[in-house]
Amino acid sequence: MLSCKHIVDLGTDYLDQELGFWKKTEMKMHLMICRHCRRYMKQLKQTIAMLSRWQLKQPTQEQLEQLKSKYQQTVSEG
């Protein structure tokens, strides 16, 4: 049977349905008996759902130029 550490390590693979039949079965068995891992998986699923709703803004060309300028200045100052 999988340990709690294995559940944490395989959590995203499980949610993404990337586990083989036996690993998925072991995962389900562990989740049936371990309330802590069930809670962890629920929180992981909620976190992924929340992050998927975020829209990342791309920096403008001006912002990229400012960043590049600051970086070059920092590097040249040593």
Instruction: Read off the pLDDT of residues 10-42 as tens digits, 9 standing for 90 and up.
Output: 999 999 999 999 999 999 999 999 999 999 999
Does pTM surpass 0.85? no
Q: How far is it, in rounded angstroms, from Cα 1 to Cα 21?
A: 14
d(CA 34, CA 36): 5
Q: Which two tokens stand for residue 21?
A: 């039949």
What sign does the CA torsion over 28, 29, 30, 32 have? Answer: positive
* 41-62 tens-digit pLDDT: 999 999 999 988 887 888 999 9
Sign of CA dihedral 29, 35, 36, 40: positive
